[in-house]
Structure formats: structure tokens, C-alpha cells
A and B are shown apart, each in its own frame.
Chain A
Amino acid sequence: MTDATMNSKPGTEIRRPTLTGERLKKRYAAERRFRLYGLGSILTAGLILVFLVGSITGTGYTAFLQTYIKLNISFDPEFLDPAGTGDVAQLASADYGGMVKKNLRDNFPEVTSRRDKRKLYNFVSPNAGFDLRTMVIDDPSLVGQSLDLWIKASDDIDMLTKGYVDRTLEESNRRVSDTELVWYDKLDSNDRIESRFNTDFFVKADSREPEEAGILGAVTGSLLTLVITLLLSFPIGVMAAIYLEEFAPKNKWTDLIEVNINNLAAVPSIVFGLLGLAMFLNFFGFPRSAPLVGGMVLALMTLPTIIIASRSALKAVPPSIREAALGLGASPLQVVTHHVLPLAMPGILTGTIIGMAQALGETAPLLMIGMIAFIVDVPGGFTDPATVLPVQIYLWADSPERAFVERTSAAIMVLLAFLIFMNILAVMLRKKFERRW
């Protein structure tokens, strides 16, 4: 190094930045562009969300309606009770399907060919007979009468009413043939087609027939599963958090548990399903498809969420409160149960609700333990075979019938409604008990 550079007055002259408008303009343009990228990203995310919810509600809302056809039904004793015994057992086992078909023929006397008859039978739900059976068993005096009744339409006709059948298509390319369209229009012009609120969707379990399929079975299954999940993961999670936060010595062992919990939180959910399959089903021999096992698997899965949330809630309680209680001679456990835990409870509950919401939306691990079976009954207990709402959505999404698409969307709307409710609950809890120390 020469003396010249050492000098406090360096040789180079002072060069002020050339703050010309040109360059500054460029820099500000870059600034605006960058800012726009950020804003654009958030707006993109928002638009996607709107599009997603919009496309689902758009296809789903029609599932809350069901088409009914007004038909003149005569409760012909020939079908129901040919011997005239009036015996309930006889009424219960009668051929209602045949009766419905006969009535359809009577309502459309012009239909004669075998092929057309089959098309005609396809107008009403295959299960319409069961509804009539219930009516007759409730009121045996109906036998022999003839009434105008609203009969549930089949899914094809339902789709037609809802405008999902494109009449401009070639006949071979649509589910409803030209003849059927003519009959339908005739019914429609006579005001014999009506859309009603689809109560069956909420009070029935799964079915192969879209117009008969409901979500009650799946919702009950979800509920039973969540009860098990909550009963297991909440106490275990809170107790684990208390130990780790309040009692555990800071050593390698505790470190290991901590690292382990953080990792478990990031293990793919399907791996928990494999654990459930190998451990609970194959090794311990627990029943397949049962909410009990589903709940246990989901409990293991939500445990890390609850532990992590509980620990941060416990951590937020200032040490001064612990010291005050200890100073009064309370035992460490009393300090925790009397003071720390009540103060941390809102935070813990918020975390638990969020964990439960996660569990409610979880599908993959439940597929592994067989909760994917087709189940037409509403489960009555924790060991009954059951399915859950997300799995029901998956099953319906896989079904080919057009009518299941809207039902899938509707089931998604119900699931999202539950999740939104839970999250609002969590937010309210957090707001209400938010405390600044």
C-alpha cells in the first residue's frame, strides 16, 4: 500500500451519485412492479379461493332440491293384499315395485312397447316403492284407494329438471331420450313436476341411487370419530404439554421428545393410516371401518397440534403468577392446576378446536383403516362400520352418475360449513379471552 492511498485525502475526487430523473424513474418503476407482483400474488390466491368456493357452490346448491312427480297412485289390493287378510306382515312384504310400475303404465296409457315401458319405469326413483310401503304400513286403510301423490323422481329426471341435460345434443349422447323428453314435457305442462327441498339428503345415509343418498350416515360417523379423537387427544395432549412446559428437566431426553413432536406434526397423514392398519387392525385386531379406530388414528395425528398449541399457551402465562403461587406454599402441581392451566385454557381450547377441524377434514388415513366401505346404515356406536364426511365426498366424487357430482359439492358445502363454524368458534374464543400481560 502506498502512502498516497494511506492519506486521509484519497486521490479520487468525490463522486456524488448522479441522481438524474432517468435512473430514478427506472428505480421507481421497478419498485412499483415489485409491489404489483406481491399484490398480484395475494389477489391470485384470493381469486382462486373465490373460484374454488364459487365452483363448488355453483354445482352444489341444486342438490338441496329434489324433483318430485305427481302421479295418480292406486293402492291396488291385487298387489298389496290379494287375499284380503289385512295382515301387516303381508302388507310389508308386498310387491310395491310392481305396483309403482303398474301405476306408471296407467298414468301413461300410450306407452306400450317393452323398451318404452322400461324407460318409463326409469322416471321414478327405484326406491319409490319403499316410501309407499311406509305409507301403507302407517295407514293400512289406504289399500284400495287411489290418490294423487308426489313421487320422488329418478336422478336422470332430476338432472333434467335442474337443467343439466343438454336437449340440443344428439339423442345417443344424453341420458334422457327423446321419448322421455316428450313425456317429461307433458308432465311439466300439467304442473306435475315440482322441486322440493331435499330433506332426504340430510336424514338418509349413503345409497347407490343418487336421489336416495344422504349424508346423515357420514355426518354421524364423523361425529363418533371426532368424539373418540377428542377424548383421547385432548387429555393426553394437555398433560404432555404440561409435563414438557412445567416439569420436564432440560435434558437430552426432553429435547428428543420435542424434536419428535415437531417431526410428527409434519409426518404425512397417510403414514398414520398405515400405522393404524398395521397396529390397530392387523396386530391388535380391532374392528375395521370403526369410528373407534378412526378416532384413535386421528388422535395420534392431532396430538402434535394440540401439544404445540398448549405449550405456547402455557408459555404465555407470565412466570410471576407461578412465583406468586409458589410463594404462598402451593405445590408445583397445585400451581399448575389452580393458576397456570385455567389461564392457559382459552389458548389450549383454541388449539384443540383447530386440531379437531383438521381431523374432521382428514381423509387419507381413514381410507387405510377401511372407513371407505359402502355403508347404507347410520352407525349406532363406536364399533359399527362407518364412514366419515370427507370419505363420503371421496366416494361420491368417484361415482359416475351426474347426480352424484352435485351431491358431492353439497356434501363439501356441509363439510365447509362445519369447518367454518369450528374456526369461527376458535377465533371468538381467542378474541374473548385474549389477554395482554
Chain B
Amino acid sequence: MNSFFLILVVIGLSVAGYAVGRARSVFAAAGDVRILHSLPSYYGMFVALGCGLPAILLLAIWLIIQPQIVDHMVMSGLDPSIMPQNADAYSLMLTDIRNLSSGNATSREASPAIVAATERYLALQSIGFWSMVVGVVCIAMLGLAWARSQISRNFRARNAVEKIIRALLIVCSMIAILTTVGIVLSLIFESIRFFARVPFFDFLFGIHWSPQTAIRAEQVGASGSFGAVPLFAGTMLITLIAMLVAGPIGLLSAIYMAEYANPKFRGIAKPMLEVLAGIPTVVYGFFAALTVAPMIRGWGEGVGLDVSSESALAAGLVMGIMIIPFVSSLSDDVINSVPQSLRDGSYGLGATKSETIRHVIIPAALPGIVGAFLLAVSRAIGETMIVVMAAGLASNLTANPFEAVTTVTVQIVTLLVGDQEFDSAKTLAAFALGLVLFFVTLGLNVVALRVVRKYREKYD
């Protein structure tokens, strides 16, 4: 028996509630449903919602809160002698207990006190679960009974149901906002903890990034140096290479499709670009690491260049390929919204097609194209899998595309994947990087979307 089953029970109760409500309304109308305010199904729905909604709500809240309470009770019930002193040790111990209770291996030998705590943890969990079951089912029944008691001949069931559904609709549309708030809060909270250990400006302007090694062993709280400049530089280098590939190819493809191609050609080329856009990034990453990087290395050796096998060039090239369809479809939209009258004006003066494109259409579409490029840059900065698989891990402050560089996203992944020490500066650094990533891409997106929107308004 688990929470899924409980959800099924609640749904079952709601269905029963529907039947009860419907029957009740027909009974209240003495069989003549025309005298009811609403259709019988609305009365059914009202009871179903009255039964299911509070129950599901309680279930959700319970699921969120219970672990916190159980954690707290287990930890405060520990023997004072082994009570962890600081937050790090606290969460480490908690993780051990959790791992033990789910039967996983722990990072160290479990002491009897920990084993006892684990037992207590499991017991509390099961108590919590069963009281949740009882609570949720009770609420469901109560809701059902209450809703049923409301039903009378004149009860405005449809209005009530519609009000509830409208409220649900609003809640759903708020989820987007909540997601953003959640992202911002989680990034900021973890980052604040990071900046409590590593000074903000050391992070932002430092040129040494080596989260793994201690600079000085006796240094308190520092397990490495966290100067993020090499990561920013690496990200920019790869983004630049990607844009040098995607910019011209994407834009020229868009121009060809919008101005030259006949419908038949478009019918083939457009889906082809869509396929390119639909290929998962992990596939591009594999392609970059396994095919492109060795190829570039080979060519480099052929002309006597020393090319790293994780060169920025390989990652950048493949990222550029990934972004081509992005640039081309956005530019295509933009070029198509340049009014025909401008083209006519230019043709009417005896300009050729390419002259019209270069001197009239591109300048007219420029703001939109800039917006498209900004969105593409933001895409490139945030792209993860290609660089994780094809770019380097070690930080390297260079502008040489044949060397290996690392990027913000690569570091986020390497810091957080694998054995994690919770709450170490190392893991928290990932959140600080995430924060920078989020705000940089957000800034680019806001500017780009505004530019594109302004541009659209100009010609609409």
C-alpha cells in the first residue's frame, strides 16, 4: 500500500460521490429533473469535487510535510552524545539514516545508535503513513457527506462547480509563476550559503577554478578555489564558435527558404531542419565526442597543430549544428513578416532579388534577427550535454579553440553528479553557477523577446 493506491481510493470515493450526488438531486426533484436549478450531473460533480478536492489537498500537504517532521523527530530523539554539532554533520547523518532505512549502503559503518535511529525512522514513517491514510479517507468521507447535504432543489450546483473549476484553472496558470519562484528561491538560498563560505567577488572575478583540491590544508571551510572567470570564458568561447557556425548557416538557410525556395523544396528542407532540432542533445554530445573531436584532432595533426581531444572547437561546432534550426526558424518567421510592399518597392526600382534581400529585407528585419540570435546565444550558454560529453573538465583560461576548456554547465554537472558531500562548498558552488546561468539566460531572453515583440508590432 502506498500513496498511489491512496490516490486511487480517493478517486474511487469521488466517483461514488458523483453517483450519490446525482441520485440525491434526482430524488430532491422527485424525479422531475426539470425543476432543478442545474442538470443532475452538476450535482454529481459538486459532490465528487467536495469529496476529492480536500482529500487530495490534504494528501499533498501531508506528503510534503511528513518527511520534515519525521526527520526532526528522529534527529531530536538521538542520544545527545552523538548529536551532530554543525549543519553539515547533521545532514550527513540524516542521509545515512535515510539510506539505511531504504536498504542502501551508507558512507560508513553504521553505529548501533544510528541503527536504532533508523528503526525509529521507519516506525515513524509507517505511523505517519497510516495516519495519513485515515486522515485522507476521513476528509474524503466528510467532504462527501457535507456536499451531499447541500443538495436541494434550488441549490445552484452549476455555479458552484464552475466557480471551483475556475479557481482550479487559475491555480494551474499560477504554476508557471510558482516554478519561476521555486527556481529563484532554491538557487538563491543555496547560493547564499555558498557565498557565506566563498566571497562573492572571489567567485565572480577569481581566475582560479579548482573545486576539488585544497589550496592550504589548514584553511578553514575552503576545499578549493572558486574563481569562475575561466568557466565564463570557456562558455563564451564555445558559444562564440557555435554562433559562428549557426549564425551564417541558419540565417542564409532562412533567407533561401523565405525568398528563393519553391514550395516543393521548402517541403523537404523545413522538416529536415526540424529533424535536426529534434535530435536529443545527448546524441549531439556523443557525435561530438566520438566523431567530430577525433576528426578535428586528425586534421589538426595533419597540418601540424596540437589539438586537444576535447577541443573547444569540436564542442562549439556541434553545438552550432544543434542551433542552426533554432536560428533558421526564428529568422524565417522574422523575414516572412517583412511586408511585401518593401520588396515591391525595391523590385520596382530594378533591384535584383539578392540586392533586395541584402539592402532592404535584412536591414528591415534586423531587430528581429538580432532577437533571434540573442535567443540562440542563450540556448548555447545553457546547453549542457554536448559540452559535458565533448568539452574538458579542467578549467583553462584561453582563447585558443584547439585547447580544452570547461563551461559553467559542465561544472554544474561534475559538481553535482556522483558522490556528493551535502552542503560542502563544492556542491553549493554548482548552485551559484546555476544562479549566474539563470540570470544571464533570463536577461538575454527578456531582451530578445522584447526586441522581437517590438519588431512584430512595427509591421503588424
Instruction: Give A contacts to B, CB under 8 Å.
Output: 17, 27-28, 30-31, 33-35, 37-42, 44-46, 48-49, 52, 55-56, 59, 235-237, 239-240, 242-244, 247-248, 256-257, 259-264, 266-272, 274-275, 277-279, 282-285, 287, 300, 303-304, 307, 331, 333, 357, 360-364, 367-368, 372, 382-383, 390-391, 393-394, 397-398, 405, 408-409, 412, 415-416, 419, 423
Contact = CB atoms under 8 A, between A and B. Distances in A.
Nearest to A241: B173
30 contacts: A27-B352, A31-B352, A39-B256, A41-B253, A42-B256, A46-B269, A52-B279, A56-B286, A236-B172, A237-B172, A239-B173, A240-B173, A242-B169, A243-B170, A257-B174, A263-B446, A264-B176, A270-B382, A270-B384, A274-B183, A278-B187, A304-B176, A333-B162, A361-B280, A363-B281, A364-B385, A368-B413, A382-B4, A398-B389, A423-B274
B229 interface: no
Interface stretch (B49-57, B220-228, B429-437): B429-437
Given A35-B354, A38-B259, A391-B282, 6 more contacts: A38-B257, A44-B249, A274-B412, A274-B434, A333-B166, A363-B384
Contact of B287 (A52, A260, A300, A394): A52
A271 B291 contact: no
Nearest to B189: A278
Nearest to A237: B172
User: Which applies to chain B's interface (DSSP): helix, strand, loop or mixed?
Assistant: helix
B257 A42 contact: yes
A397 B286 contact: yes
Interface in B14-36: none
B176 A56 contact: no
Contacts of B285: 394, 397
B135 to A, nearest CB: 19
Nearest to A390: B282
Contact of A274 (B67, B186, B250, B284): B186
A415 B283 CA distance: 9
A374 B291 CA distance: 26
Contacts, number: 260
User: Which applies to chain A's interface (DSSP): helix, strand, loop or mixed?
Assistant: helix
A415 B284 CA distance: 13
Given A270-B437, A333-B166, A256 B282 contact: no
A256 B388 CA distance: 34
A240 B176 contact: yes
Specify which of A52, A357, A391 lies most central, judged by the most chain B CB atoms within 10 Å of its CB. A52
Contacts of A368: 412-413, 416-417
Contacts of A31: 352-355
B384 A266 contact: no
Contacts of B283: 52, 56, 361, 393, 412, 415-416
A17 B248 CA distance: 33
A274 B352 CA distance: 52
A17 B441 CA distance: 51
A274 B169 contact: no
Contacts of A416: 279, 283
B102 interface: yes
B353 A236 contact: no
